[in-house]
């Protein structure tokens, strides 16, 4: 019996012969491509399936719009709630893109804070020099993008005072940070100038412990946890978007709270 | 339960507004898609730091292959949810649709409908009139939607809207309320979809507009399909 799926009129079999090299090359190319994307799929744990490029760029475009909205919502004079020192969590919660055992402590003997970009006095700073500047303390909530939060007490140099001291262009768009743990980060100037944005040197009354950014880290009351780089080694003031570690992987840049 | 019988109208069947006017249908289906986006991307965000210990959503149910993209979906969907929801509420109040469809709710009717439902006597001859339980569920889910926007704003901007956060009982409480609101909406969704599939003409009505109504907002005879 003739299969119902077989066409009544069969195409000329010569077509196959005429295009044999083409067909063969297509198959081979397809195999290689298929093999490669399967490998990529395994490595990226399904990124390609979940997130086609068009969807990704649309989401990123809305993300940039959201950054703009967040900048508008940011009130430079609005202070985050503060808490009594008795509520400070000791030690603070460790969180990074690697495990706490992989923290590489920084030696304060060799440590310098390098400055670059739109800054008048770009000589590097030592830790004693930073410690000699007027210090401010704040007990604020740390809110992680994951959802957890804790209350921490931080002491250090207000970033605004530091930027003024070094003659930074305060009309520039961004302040960018480099760290010893390859965790570049950047923030908007408005947040950099907020009174609750510190170059933190102490947690509670003690100097920062190694896992929490000794000797200097950033602490802002108005941004999510991942915007606060630890073990800072360089600060740049710039008008060119500097991005950041998590931002390059898809997290929003502004991340204001 | 008493059934309100459709009245015969002398007007031609072609005139008169439909059960679900076009704007309602558009907003309904936008909301359906956006709600699914918000729920499933929310599950992806939730999974990074669970509220209920040991309770996870498997990757299959999460939108976004990891937290950053779940977050991006969520922060994109929020605009559509909020704007669509606001237009729906303004439309519903301005046209009187919300009051006409959802009020009044009499407690005795709620009890009677529950008893009837437990006896598998679900009256659905006339889909233009909601029973008391339906009305209650729709009001609950509208409030849950509004509540999700409010608690969502609170956990999105807990410092800029710190007053709202303390009103809600703190950041972690606001977060738990946002999770609870999701649970209410998902609960509604299960019942809503199950009933729509049991009475498919309600599903059709949300696509085509459904029967045309007489001036009292009831179905005309022969058009309760």
- Between CA B68 and CA A229 the distance in angstroms is 18
Measure B134 CA to nearest chain A CA, in Å.
Answer: 35
ipTM over 0.90: no
Q: Which of A49, A250, A252, A254 is the best residue to mutate to test the B interface, defined by the most B CB atoms within 10 Å of its own CB?
A: A250
pLDDT in tens, A190-246: 999 999 999 999 999 999 999 999 999 999 999 999 999 999 999 999 999 999 999
B110 vs B2, more confident: B110
Confidence of residue A96 (pLDDT cuts 50, 70, 90): very high
Q: Do the Cβ atoms of A51 and B65 come within 8 Å?
A: yes
Lowest-pLDDT choice from A12-16, A56-60, B31-35, B153-157: A12-16
In a domain, B7, yes or no: no
Mean pLDDT score of chain A, rounded to an integer? Answer: 89
Q: Do the Cβ atoms of A59 and B67 come within 8 Å?
A: no
Tally of domains in chain B: 1
Q: Do the Cβ atoms of B64 and A81 come within 8 Å?
A: no
Confidence of residue B128 (pLDDT cuts 50, 70, 90): confident
Confidence of residue A12 (pLDDT cuts 50, 70, 90): confident
**Cβ of B30: how many Cβ atoms within 10 Å?**
17
Q: Decide if pLDDT at B165 tops 50.
A: yes
A31 vs B40, more confident: B40
Q: Decide if pLDDT at A95 tops 70.
A: yes
Which of B75, B159, B175 minimises the CB distance to A66? B75
Q: Do the Cβ atoms of A252 and B75 come within 8 Å?
A: yes
- Between CA A166 and CA A120 the distance in angstroms is 6
- Between CA B41 and CA A251 the distance in angstroms is 14
Q: Decide if pLDDT at A19 tops 90.
A: no
pLDDT at A209: 95
Ranges of each domain in chain A: 14-48, 78-249
> What's the mean pLDDT in B130-141?
93
**The domain that contains B90 carries what CATH number?**
1.20.950.20
Query: Does domain A78-249 sit in CATH 3.40.50.10470?
Result: no
- Between CA B52 and CA A101 the distance in angstroms is 28
In a domain, B61, yes or no: yes
> What's the mean pLDDT in B164-172?
98
Q: Which residues does chain A have within 8 Å of residue B166's beta carbon, measured at their own beta carbons?
A: 81
pLDDT at B131: 87
Q: Decide if pLDDT at A25 tops 80.
A: no
pLDDT in tens, B50-71: 999 999 999 999 999 999 999 9
In a domain, B48, yes or no: yes
Token pair 């046209």 in the structure block, residue:
B95
A74 burial via Cβ count (<10 Å: 0-12, 13-18, 19+): buried
Q: CB–CB of A210/A231 below 8 Å?
A: no
Measure B24 CA to nearest chain A CA, in Å.
Answer: 26
Tell me the pTM: 0.84
In a domain, B215, yes or no: no
pLDDT at A233: 98
Q: Decide if pLDDT at B12 tops 70.
A: no
Q: Do the Cβ atoms of B160 and A73 come within 8 Å?
A: yes
The 3-state secondary structure of chain A reads CCCCCCCCCCCCCHHHHHCHHHHHHHHHHHHHHHHHHHHHHHHCCCHHHHCCHHHHHHHHHHHHHHHHHHHHHCCCCCCCCCCCHHHCCCCCCCCCCCCHHHCCCCCCCCCCEEEEECECCCCCECHHHHHHCCCEEEEEEEECCCCCEEEEEEEEEEHHHHHHHCCECCCCCEEEEEECCCCCEEEEHHHHCCCCEEEEEEECCEECCHHHCCCCEEEECCECHHHCCCCEEEEEEECCCCCCCCHHHCCCCCCEC
Expressed as residue numbers, the domain containing B200 is: 22-208
């Amino acid at each position: 019996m003739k299969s119902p799926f077989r066409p009544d009129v069969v195409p000329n079999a010569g077509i196959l012969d005429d295009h044999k090299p083409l067909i063969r090359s297509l198959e081979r190319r397809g195999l290689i491509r298929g093999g490669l994307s399967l490998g990529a799929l395994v490595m990226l744990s399904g990124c390609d399936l979940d997130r086609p490029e068009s969807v990704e760029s649309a989401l990123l475009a809305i993300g940039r719009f959201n950054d703009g909205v967040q900048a508008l919502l940011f009130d430079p004079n609005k202070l985050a709630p503060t808490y009594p020192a008795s509520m400070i969590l000791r030690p603070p919660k460790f969180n990074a893109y690697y495990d706490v055992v992989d923290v590489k402590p920084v030696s304060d003997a060799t440590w310098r804070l390098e400055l670059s970009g739109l800054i008048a006095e770009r000589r590097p700073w030592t830790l004693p020099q930073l410690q000699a500047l007027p210090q401010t303390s704040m007990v604020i909530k740390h809110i992680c993008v994951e959802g957890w939060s804790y209350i921490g007490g931080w002491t250090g140099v207000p970033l605004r005072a530091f930027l003024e001291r070094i003659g930074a262009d305060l009309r520039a768009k961004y302040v960018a940070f480099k760290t010893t743990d390859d965790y570049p980060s950047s923030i908007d100037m408005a947040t950099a100038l907020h009174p609750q944005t510190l170059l933190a040197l102490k947690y509670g009354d003690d100097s920062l412990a190694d896992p929490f950014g000794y000797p200097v880290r950033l602490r802002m009351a108005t941004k999510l946890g991942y915007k606060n780089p630890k073990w800072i080694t360089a600060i740049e003031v710039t008008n060119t978007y500097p991005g950041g570690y998590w931002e390059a992987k898809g997290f929003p840049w502004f991340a204001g709270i | 339960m008493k059934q309100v019988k459709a009245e015969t109208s002398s007007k031609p069947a072609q005139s008169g507004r439909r059960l679900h006017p076009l704007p309602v249908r558009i907003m309904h289906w936008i909301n359906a898609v956006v709600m699914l986006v918000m729920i499933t991307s929310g599950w992806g965000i939730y999974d990074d730091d669970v509220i209920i210990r040991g309770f996870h959503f498997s990757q299959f149910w999460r939108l976004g292959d990891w937290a950053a993209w779940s977050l991006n979906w969520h922060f994109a969907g929020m605009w559509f949810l909020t704007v669509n929801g606001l237009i729906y509420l303004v439309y519903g109040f301005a046209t009187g649709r919300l009051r006409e469809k959802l009020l009044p709710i009499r407690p005795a009717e709620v009890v009677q409908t529950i008893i009837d439902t437990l006896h598998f006597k679900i009256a659905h001859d006339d889909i233009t009139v909601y029973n008391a339980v339906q009305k209650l569920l729709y009001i609950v889910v509208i409030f849950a939607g509004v509540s999700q926007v409010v608690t969502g704003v609170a956990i999105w901007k807990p410092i800029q809207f710190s007053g709202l956060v303390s009103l809600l009982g703190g950041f972690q409480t606001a977060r738990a309320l946002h999770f609870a609101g999701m649970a209410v909406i998902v609960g509604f969704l299960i019942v809503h979809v199950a009933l729509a599939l049991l009475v498919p003409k309600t599903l059709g009505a949300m696509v085509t507009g459904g029967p045309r109504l007489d001036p009292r907002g009831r179905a005309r005879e022969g058009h309760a399909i």
